[in-house]
Structure 1
Amino acid sequence: MTLEYIYLHGFASSPKSAKAKDIGDRFAKIQTKLKIPDLNAGDFSHLTITRQLTQIAKEFPDTSVPVILIGSSLGGLTSAHLGQQYQQVQRLVLLAPAFGFLFHWLPRLGNEEVQRWQLEKYLMVYHYGEGRSLPLSYGFVTDATQYQEELLQRPIPTLILHGRKDEVIPIEASRDFARSRPWVELVELDSDHALGNVMEEIWQAIYLFCQLP
């Protein structure tokens, strides 16, 4: 059966990230196509979750072809919402998914900084893919508030891989998500948000879960 595999990179990242390249190379070795779109879309400043959802939905093939999404961090959160919206999505692999993204990120910026962002409309954010700071519109925040985890109730086979030492999105976010959803399997890893030291374990888990050739 034909399947479409799509990888969604994280926030302020790119298709050239270490994880995207590692997983892309492993897919290539087993001669299986993995699409890795650039979610920055040439305009990181006006990034929103809605834009990511629209962009990836356009990548979906003919509706008879099942889609498997692999998403990292904010790409994981976006993948989960795509799975909710599109029956075509048959499986999800979420790597340190950014559940409660605003809840975890905004307090770290501090109230003053968030208020200034709202007032000035743009905040300089370090972009790992570009290796420099870029302005991000406050529209990102207003858009993100509508994407609540409580809405994610479609029983789609889901594998979450999350590091116990994650300093960006605490593992509790994934534990909470999995606890009330029996179709979700959570694998806890001895790693941080980047998951760089457990790529072999991640690949083995993806390989088995996705029943790759």
Structure 2
Amino acid sequence: MHYIYLHGFASSPRSTKARDLSDRFAALDISLSIPDLNQNDFSHLTLSRQIQQVEALFPPAPAPVTLIGSSFGGLTAAWLGERHLQVDRLVLLAPAFGFLAHWLPRLGDQVEQWQTDGYLPVYHYSEAKELPLHYAFVADAAQYQEESIARSLPTLVLHGRHDDVIPLQASLDFARTRPWIKLVELDSDHALTDVSTEIWQAIQSFCAL
């Protein structure tokens, strides 16, 4: 089994969750690949680019892959699972279902200005500063309709009840018509950094580590 962790939007392989999971996998002598989805070019990030980047990391078929994705990385993992039979299992941490529907309304009038100017300053948590993000990010993401994600494969979703970025309801709605999903609600927010032990225990059980 090959394990790949996909970090969230405006994050990096140096995030708290990425480092925590890397250490825990290493303690079991299991390799966990954590690609940098920024590719040194956050400004031209798209969902399509992330999908293609991770596809290139897959081992030769039919070697199985388990994807663990956080937030926008979780959304990316869900699409990879839909498209590749090699993906044997998904672990989605506060997956960004309905990402644009939740994010764009918060930007208000900035969305129109973004489309006009081409770039929008976005705070990048790993870089600890604002970086310009091209409007192609929105245009690309809008092409992906989550209703078409229909492949039945073992999926564990861990989502915080107090998530004010991607509300728990987004995962509840997604899981409602997909009986293969196991959804676990956690007493946490979007970051999930204060429930790392609970997350690890759930992953260990689900992946039989």
TM-score interval, normalised by the smaller of the two chains: over 0.9
- State which of 101, 110, 115 in structure 2 corresponds to 1:113: 110
Report SS of the residue matched to 2:80: helix
Give 2:112's aligned amino acid: Q
Give the whole-Å Cα distance in 2 for the aligned partners of 1:151 and 1:22: 33
Choose the corresponding residue for 2:137, options 137, 140, 145: 140
Q: Which of these residues, 21, 24, 27, is aligned with residue 25 of structure 2?
A: 27
Partner amino acid for 2:152? Answer: P
- How many residues are paired up? 209
Aligned partners of 1:166, 1:146: CA distance in 2, in Å? 25
* TM-score, scaled to structure 2: 0.99
Alignment counterpart, residue 46 of structure 2, candidates 42, 45, 48: 48
- Find the partner of 2:64 among 66, 71, 81: 66
Q: Unaligned 5+ residue runs, structure 2?
A: none
Which of 151, 156, 160 pairs up with 1:154?
Answer: 151
1:23-56 CA-partner distances (Å, limit 9, x unpaired): 1100000000000000000100000000000000
Aligned CA RMSD, in angstroms, stands at: 0.4
Counterpart CA distance in 1 for 2:128 and 2:186 is 28
Residue 94 (structure 2) pairs with residue 87 (structure 1): no
Secondary structure at the counterpart of residue 55 of structure 1: helix
Match of 1:206 in 2: 203
Over the matched positions of the two proteins, sequence identity in percent amounts to 65
How far the C-alpha of 1:148 sits from its partner, in A, is: 1.6
The secondary structure found in structure 2 opposite 1:52 is helix
3-state SS in 2 of match to 1:59: coil
Stretches of 4+ aligned residues off by more than 6 angstroms:
none
Distance 1:148 1:108 in 2: 21
1:11 to 2, 6, 9: 9
2:162 maps to a residue whose letter is: K
Partners of 1:159 and 1:148 lie apart in 2 by 21
SS in 1 for 2:39: coil
Deviations 1:186-210 (A, max 9, x none): 0000000000110000000000101
Residue 56 of structure 2 aligns to a residue whose secondary structure is helix
* Correspondence for 1:104 among 102, 106, 115: 102
User: Which residue in 1 is equivalent to 2:178?
Assistant: 181
With structure 1 as the length reference, what TM-score do the two structures score?
0.98
Measure how far apart 1:64 and its partner are. 2.0
Q: Give unpaired runs (5+ residues) of structure 1.
A: none
Separation in structure 1 between the aligned mates of residue 10 and residue 182 of structure 2, nearest angstrom: 27
